[in-house]
Amino acid sequence: MDSCIICGGRQSYFYELFFSPELPTPHGGPLTVSTEDGADGGAGVGSVAASALSGGADAAAVAAAAAAGGIGSAKMDMPPTVINRADASVTVLNPLRNRVLLRRLERKTLVLDLDETLVHSTLRPAGEPDLELRVHIDSFPCVFYVFKRPHVDAFLRQVAAWYDVVVFTASLHQYANPVLDALDPDSELIAQRYFRESCTLLPTGFAKDVSITRSDGDLAKAVLVDNSPSAFMINRHNAIPIETWQSNVNDEALLDLLPFLNILRFVDDVRSILSLRVAR
């Protein structure tokens, strides 16, 4: 049996996951993906994979096809996840088969940045914040006006069902802890919290070593979503960049990530996919 070009595992495993013939695409027909140079601006597989990191369900499927086929074209019939953007609900196709497949895989860790990824906070009053936070930083009283990124509550609920969710922020715990309490009031979504003292200060800024978020330190099973490029400097092959968010009420970046994060649950080593972006 040939090995899977994505995960190094059995090829039937990959095909069963991504190329099920009986399931429709969102377009109502088979999705044809061209990965020839020129089709994506000449950058080939790397840029196709990069588009998946910010492009949503179709782009995630494209990335999988690109990685599987390398060059040429591929036909795919299965987006594993469908997002209803009207109410931010998520449908995972064929959940029974997914459960069988996941039984063979260890649960992965999703490491999320906080500021400009999940929320935006400002010291100046603006609009109607989701949270008005009064804390002391170095004994100085501060008021933070905290705004939630659109769809953050639905996003956290969904990814907590798929991953062990960790928040890793370069912010101080005096500020970040109350914000996380507001995002996860019942302490059932976020398993661990890491703050500035856990970051590594590099000339480029704060970097995050995601291996510390797992007891086994296994980087094959850890994904970091962050808006700051400096955060990725230690584990670049575990990175999913997300657009910086401050105020766009129509932002859907968190929803766009869900299909891709669903796919990543099924690979043996997340770096086999995420490193495609670095190789551009």
Residues carrying an active site annotation = 113, 115
Query: Contact 148/177 with Cβ under 8 angstroms?
Result: no
Phi first, then psi: what are they for 212, rounded to 5°? -75, -10
Q: State the Cα–Cα distance between residues 60 and 39, nearest whole angstrom.
A: 16
Query: Which token pair is 186?
Result: 């019942």
Residue 188 beta carbon to Mg ion: minimum distance, rounded to whole angstroms: 24
Query: Contact 26/58 with Cβ under 8 angstroms?
Result: yes
- One symbol per residue from 66 to 105: x for binding Mg ion (CB under 5 A), - otherwise; what is it? ----------------------------------------
Residue 236 beta carbon to Mg ion: minimum distance, rounded to whole angstroms: 17
Q: Which stretch binds Mg ion (CB under 5 A): 102-110, 116-124, 190-198, 205-213?
A: 116-124
Using CB under 5 A as the binding criterion, the count of chain residues that bind Mg ion stands at: 5
Shorter beta-carbon distance to Mg ion: residue 216 or 243 = 243
Determine if 122 is a binding residue for Mg ion (CB under 5 A).
no
Query: Contact 123/141 with Cβ under 8 angstroms?
Result: no
Residue 230 beta carbon to Mg ion: minimum distance, rounded to whole angstroms: 10
| Dihedral sign (CA 230, 126, 248, 144) | positive
One-letter identity of residue 45: V
Determine if 116 is a binding residue for Mg ion (CB under 5 A).
yes
- One symbol per residue from 229 to 248: x for binding Mg ion (CB under 5 A), - otherwise; what is it? --------------------
Determine if 256 is a binding residue for Mg ion (CB under 5 A).
no
Q: State the Cα–Cα distance between residues 27 and 58, nearest whole angstrom.
A: 10
DSSP 165-178: EEEE-SS-HHHHHH
Determine if 115 is a binding residue for Mg ion (CB under 5 A).
yes
Query: Which token pair is 236?
Result: 């670049």
Task: Kindly report the number of other CB atoms within 10 A of residue 233's CB atom.
Answer: 18
Query: Contact 214/222 with Cβ under 8 angstroms?
Result: yes
Residue 228 beta carbon to Mg ion: minimum distance, rounded to whole angstroms: 5
Shorter beta-carbon distance to Mg ion: residue 98 or 173 = 173
Please select the residue that binds Mg ion; options are 47, 63, 111, 113, rule is CB under 5 A: 113
The rounded Cα 91 to chain-centroid distance in angstroms is 17
Residue 169 beta carbon to Mg ion: minimum distance, rounded to whole angstroms: 7
Please select the residue that binds Mg ion; options are 227, 230, 238, 262, rule is CB under 5 A: 227
Determine if 171 is a binding residue for Mg ion (CB under 5 A).
no
Shorter beta-carbon distance to Mg ion: residue 172 or 220 = 172
Q: Which residues bind Mg ion (CB under 5 A)?
A: 113, 115-116, 227-228
